[in-house]
Structure 1
């Protein structure tokens, strides 16, 4: 544990120590690699830092395997698992008034003014952040840069697939892994294509709308943004990360005062490698690992395989027992449970949402008007090519048949 303002070295050491403290079960075996991502909470008043969410993983399922009941994780990349673990942590904390306090006049939770959050990853996020614009590196003018990109002479492997409608005329349909800088992409993967956006694009979205998502946003006085993004990998490139996270949107104004594009400090240290970092002669670990800073009786550590909880019998694969605590279904239950257990929220929901248990996940998200309005604007002006998941994947309720 560190008790000073966290440097990237402090943050990396906290994250590596937390990973080492977790059970061996589920971790990569010999000749396997994975990606580690964490959220570190820092209290500026006490100068105390701790890891509150952790994720490991490299897998993503194709759209044909998505679950209409919210049981299965579509995206098990480390960055996404860590963010979901963070949401679980936030729900737990809102019940216990340690970092949050209830503001009765506004009818929402205030995060302590002393608390901030830092993001960590052991690898460059897939998608736009992986592209190094070599024309900028050499100081070439924009005309030369565009000419070379159009001539397809400087393609870079991105770790993400181009979205239909962004293929340049110089490319064929088989070139969707090799793109010009700045474009949106879906996750890489073999077989059936995924609908999940690249981690570069998701980090960019969180830098505008906050990391908390629609449901938690409806409970908070303001969004939660990462103060720093920290990458401990030799291949990370400052210009590429800055472009992917916020520079490709610079100059565009958000009309909603609640959500404003952020410019988090991006820090890189290639001298602190993760012990299970990617190697060409190793295979990716098939497992996803998730840990949240919640009590042991709530099972803070979970292992996933293909987006489901490890160890579930074949007969139970289509049931809620297969759902991880960070799945859409379980996080939705957390949201509903908080509405019922918190006295002021319960009174508010009884006035405005009398049939809360009958409401679908989608309808609850739609009630978060500020968030949804801003997200629609962002998709029009920032993320035009963002993929849309079928409505039937969001129409589940809290009831299990």
Structure 2
């Protein structure tokens, strides 16, 4: 039996409470929490494997071509990246891993009795926040809408509409079903809204291209859970999968999912926005289910590791363990230790430092083919990042973990 929303929320809240106070919001600050819970159907036990807190997103003019800086520090994205860190750790384990090696397929397979559940303390930014406009004379419906509009969490998204053909007359128009970039001040960000990212993961899986090239099948969320008094199941379902139900998408491995969506207003997050907490916390927090020696808990500011000096801001020292760069290093180190996969990719061990991030993403051929079709069918307006942001390589002297 899968864990209830109550169990998932309690596990995530308790895990955050157990982490050091450093980096958490001050008394007048608020944040959003997202978490991923792993459920073992064999033992009927659940545990938190990743957490993320954050509300910030940097503009496209501040993006780092070396992969050191997080572009998107919304809680949902941080939790997902912390989950990737957990997956790499499990892929590297010799025993008691969630994965098993398949010699015939020359890849890893997630053991069938594991499943994953997602939690967030707020409705995802973007389409899931937008209420369908229904004309009605029903006084009860009108009264409900009035209560919603007076609530602290208003049904409104600051995420900006994307139009492939050019600028929009009103990029903030609350039109249901459209793709949007993250809200934020200053220059527009290239990061897609959390609604759109969850919708993408709902088809391609949450594992991303690099890990996808190492495993047999994508990893999906079994349920999406929200602790919110104003979230709507109908709006979230539309954002995650129903807005594309009239379109076809057929691939052998990648299939649009219909996860269980659950909402409960009963769980009050300690750091939720409220009258005494009006300032968003400037920090991002990430935690992965890893040994303490690997520093599973990290604090970020403006997408960089907290405490980094100006002198080292443009070096790997500034990079969080969940940054593109550090997760890329995890991928290359795994290739360094796995001769059979290198042979399948036709890559020599001495060539690993020569590979770019972009080149390695293309190793996931079936994933990239599915993504191209998905963009054509669903996400034609998905933002495109400049190629220079994906051409970074591994600075080998920063680590001695390469194994033959």
Q: TM-score when scaled to structure 2? A: 0.90
Match of residue 223, structure 2, among 225, 228, 233? 228
Question: What's the offset of the Cα at 1:356?
Answer: 2.3
SS at match of 2:267: coil
CA contact (8 A) 2:198 2:240 kept: yes
- Rounded to whole Å, the distance in 2 between the matches of 1:137 and 1:185 is 28
CA contact (8 A) 1:166 1:183 kept: no
Question: What's the offset of the Cα at 1:108?
Answer: 0.8
- 1:308 is matched with 304
Q: In the superposition, relative to structure 1, how do residues 333 and 136 fare at CA in structure 2: closer, same or farther (>3 Å)?
A: farther
- 1:151 is matched with none
Question: What's the offset of the Cα at 1:177?
Answer: 1.9
- 2:189 is matched with 194
The answer to whether structure 1 residue 340 and structure 2 residue 336 are counterparts is: yes
Q: TM-score when scaled to structure 1? A: 0.90
- Rounded to whole Å, the distance in 2 between the matches of 1:138 and 1:208 is 38
- Rounded to whole Å, the distance in 1 between the matches of 2:121 and 2:166 is 30
- Rounded to whole Å, the distance in 1 between the matches of 2:343 and 2:379 is 37
More displaced stretch, 333-342 vs 350-359: 350-359
Q: What does 1:323-338 align with in structure 2 at a 5 Å threshold?
A: 323-338=319-334
- 1:184 is matched with 179
- Rounded to whole Å, the distance in 2 between the matches of 1:158 and 1:137 is 23
CA contact (8 A) 1:132 1:240 kept: yes
Question: What's the offset of the Cα at 1:379?
Answer: 0.7
- Rounded to whole Å, the distance in 1 between the matches of 2:344 and 2:251 is 25
SS at match of 1:134: coil
Q: What does 1:203-352 align with in structure 2 at a 5 Å threshold?
A: 203-279=198-274, 282-349=278-345
- 1:35 is matched with 32
Question: What's the offset of the Cα at 1:355?
Answer: 1.9
Indicate the RMSD between aligned Cα atoms, in angstroms.
2.0
Task: Count residues with an aligned counterpart.
Answer: 379
The answer to whether structure 1 residue 8 and structure 2 residue 5 are counterparts is: yes
Deviation sequence 1:10-51 (CA, Å, 0-9, x none): 000000000000100000001100000000000011011000
Question: What's the offset of the Cα at 1:156?
Answer: 6.7
- 1:363 is matched with 359
SS at match of 1:119: strand
The answer to whether structure 1 residue 94 and structure 2 residue 77 are counterparts is: no
Q: In the superposition, relative to structure 1, how do residues 87 and 247 fare at CA in structure 2: closer, same or farther (>3 Å)?
A: same
Unaligned runs of 5+ in 2: 139-153, 398-404
CA contact (8 A) 2:249 2:377 kept: no
Q: In the superposition, relative to structure 1, how do residues 392 and 135 fare at CA in structure 2: closer, same or farther (>3 Å)?
A: same
Unaligned runs of 5+ in 1: 140-154
Match of residue 80, structure 2, among 53, 75, 83? 83
- Rounded to whole Å, the distance in 1 between the matches of 2:270 and 2:158 is 21
The answer to whether structure 1 residue 396 and structure 2 residue 395 are counterparts is: no
- 1:374 is matched with 370
Q: In the superposition, relative to structure 1, how do residues 157 and 167 fare at CA in structure 2: closer, same or farther (>3 Å)?
A: farther
Match of residue 60, structure 2, among 59, 63, 66? 63
